[in-house]
Structure 1
Amino acid sequence: MINWLLKKISLSAIILSIGIISIATADQTIKSDRIVELAKSYLLNQFSQNYSSENIDVTNTRLLPDISFPEGKIDYFINEKEIANIGQYHTIPIIILLDGKPIRTLFVNCKVKLYGNVVTSVAPIKMHQNINREAITLSRQEINSNSKNSDYYQNIEDLVGLRTIQYIPSGKIINAAIIEKIPLVEKNKQVKVVGKIGDIEASIYGTALEKGVKDDIINVQNPSTQKIFSARIIGKNSVELVF
């Protein structure tokens, strides 16, 4: 009896001296490739709502190690609330559940590239040069994932007859920010000003204070009186008074 008590006291002392005792169990390994594929699949699904899958390329930018967990049922959950707006670079938080309980969150860094057939310049185009069919072509290019479809062109005919507002190097994607309609009225140029009241029509000449295209409202100055008034562009170097 005394020997049994001594053994029990000794075992208790050992437990107290080393703290909590962990009991080893069989482990299971989750390959990093599996985690990365989950992140890629999520991004492909998000982008495929606006782009065809063949135009989406998702790559992992940071390697993850393989991870070991105790035996049990493994599930995965992506917390979409923690993901920023869709852009080029993403960090996808993947929560790992063991038997229904979250045990770890892994962060997968990915880069998304989008491709599309868009209008590009064949050769350099000068500033304020009119665009013709020979100057542009349709080619497959990487496009900015933050861009809207209206930021670039997918039809050559949409650009013919417009002009550039800056120099465009060869092979550059042509977007809405670097082109404009050809102005019918140029700033500081003389314009014919037409005024109509009922059946009465009169005209004078004035100086356009702004450039513009058809139906634009611009300011025009009467060179004799220096008065400034508003007029609508109705043709080449021709405007109509706005009452």
Structure 2
Amino acid sequence: MVRMLLLISFILLSCGSTYALQIDVRSSAVVSKTQVVIGDVVDITPPSPRLSAKRLLRAPLPGKSITVKRDQIRRVLQQFGLTEKNCEFSGADEVVVKRDSQTITFARVQRDIADYLARAQRQLSGAKFKFIPQGNVKDIVVPAGRLQVKVIPALAQIVGSRRFTLIYTVDGRTVKNMSVSGKLQLLASVVVAQRNLRRGAIVGSQDVKMVVVDISKTEQPLYNLIDVVGMMVARSIRSAQIVDGKNLVLPPLIKRGAFVKLIARRGAMLLTATGIAMQEGKMEDIIRVRNSASQKEVLARVIGPDKVEVGF
């Protein structure tokens, strides 16, 4: 304060006019910070940067305005030794001070979530996220400045998230923390049943097709028809239902009661015989087989269609 008074005295002494300082009050002002300083609302002649930087009052909320009377400005200046005897006031009787701002709209929120999901889906093979928000978000007025956002899904893996948290900052300072709920879809071209497929059926090429659908609730979606055709249905699949890999199994290479070729190897020696499968089996399964000649049952490993191998 002492230094400021000395500075004001110097300005007064160095000026030969009747009034050392001219204080011209503006009719309006726009501020971006939390405090209004003297230089925001008046023009000082000759210029005084230190005086202009002195606090006048607290700024209004972003987007809001307040009216400051000339008398209020005069009282603050009196604290620094400026009176009507050594300075001349001119200009408006009052100044309307508005806090600069920017608005976070619902469209902006949707775009921020969409941008986040677009970056995340780069890790996926051809699948695309689509978020459908529930309800609406009112416009949010925040201070002017560099606006940034951090988007956090409800679930770390994103898929299955029903809510996103958005943290907005202006110039590094948090100004809004909000949550948006909705439905998150994961769209991809996958195998879908064209007709009802019963348990035990072998899937044919006419039974399935490729369709772009939401796979967010499917554990093992299949992306190629070749992965499905020829497989056996382990659990019934309805028409238009996504074919889930967990509902398919390899079909048995050997059916119960079928004639099979028994193969026994030892070094260069190869023996073969005919048998009857006592149970069905897939590749590498161990099944019981009855030797047609001896009528004895042996355990054999499935090595191909209607072929089993026994040890001896």
| TM-score, structure 1 as length reference | 0.69
| Residue of structure 2 in register with 1:175 after alignment | 244
1:196 aligns with 2:265: yes
Is the alpha carbon distance of 1:139 and 1:68 closer, same or farther for their aligned partners in structure 2, counting shifts above 3 Å? closer
The alpha-carbon deviation at position 233 of structure 1 amounts to: 1.1
Deviations, residues 34-56 of structure 1 (Å, cap 9, x unaligned): 22321221112212332548x44
* Equivalent pair of 2:153/2:161 in contact (CA under 8 Å): no
* Equivalent pair of 1:195/1:202 in contact (CA under 8 Å): yes
Deviations, residues 104-145 of structure 1 (Å, cap 9, x unaligned): 312233432122332222222222222222222233322236
Q: Quote the Cα distance in structure 1 between the aligned partners of 2:204 and 2:279.
A: 29
Q: Quote the Cα distance in structure 2 between the aligned partners of 1:104 and 1:153.
A: 41
1:239 aligns with 2:275: no
| Residue of structure 2 in register with 1:49 after alignment | 123
Q: Quote the Cα distance in structure 2 between the aligned partners of 1:162 and 1:26.
A: 64
Q: Quote the Cα distance in structure 2 between the aligned partners of 1:23 and 1:158.
A: 66
Is the alpha carbon distance of 1:187 and 1:167 closer, same or farther for their aligned partners in structure 2, counting shifts above 3 Å? same
Is the alpha carbon distance of 1:163 and 1:106 closer, same or farther for their aligned partners in structure 2, counting shifts above 3 Å? same
How do 1:206-221 residues align onto structure 2 when only pairs under 5 Å count?
A: 208=278, 211-213=281-283, 216-220=284-288
How do 1:80-95 residues align onto structure 2 when only pairs under 5 Å count?
A: 84-95=156-167
Is the alpha carbon distance of 1:89 and 1:186 closer, same or farther for their aligned partners in structure 2, counting shifts above 3 Å? same
Among 91, 94, 104, the residue aligned to 1:30: 104
Among 140, 146, 149, the residue aligned to 1:77: 149
Is the alpha carbon distance of 1:110 and 1:77 closer, same or farther for their aligned partners in structure 2, counting shifts above 3 Å? same
Q: Quote the Cα distance in structure 2 between the aligned partners of 1:68 and 1:38.
A: 16
The alpha-carbon deviation at position 240 of structure 1 amounts to: 0.3
SS of alignment partner, residue 123 of structure 2:
coil
* Equivalent pair of 2:153/2:164 in contact (CA under 8 Å): no
1:162 aligns with 2:198: no
The alpha-carbon deviation at position 171 of structure 1 amounts to: 1.6
| TM-score, structure 2 as length reference | 0.56
SS of alignment partner, residue 89 of structure 1:
coil
Q: Which amino acid aligns with 1:64?
A: V
| Residue of structure 2 in register with 1:152 after alignment | 222
The alpha-carbon deviation at position 219 of structure 1 amounts to: 4.3
Is the alpha carbon distance of 1:113 and 1:185 closer, same or farther for their aligned partners in structure 2, counting shifts above 3 Å? same
Q: CA RMSD in A?
A: 3.6
Deviations, residues 42-92 of structure 1 (Å, cap 9, x unaligned): 112212332548x442222243222233x4314223165985212132433
Is the alpha carbon distance of 1:221 and 1:22 closer, same or farther for their aligned partners in structure 2, counting shifts above 3 Å? farther
* Equivalent pair of 1:40/1:59 in contact (CA under 8 Å): no
Runs of 4+ in 1 over 6 A off after TM superposition: 221-228
State how many pairs are aligned. 215
The alpha-carbon deviation at position 183 of structure 1 amounts to: 0.8
| Residue of structure 2 in register with 1:17 after alignment | none
Q: Which amino acid aligns with 1:40?
A: A
* Equivalent pair of 2:192/2:208 in contact (CA under 8 Å): yes
The alpha-carbon deviation at position 239 of structure 1 amounts to: 1.0
Matched residues, percent identical? 19
Is the alpha carbon distance of 1:200 and 1:57 closer, same or farther for their aligned partners in structure 2, counting shifts above 3 Å? closer
* Equivalent pair of 2:190/2:213 in contact (CA under 8 Å): yes
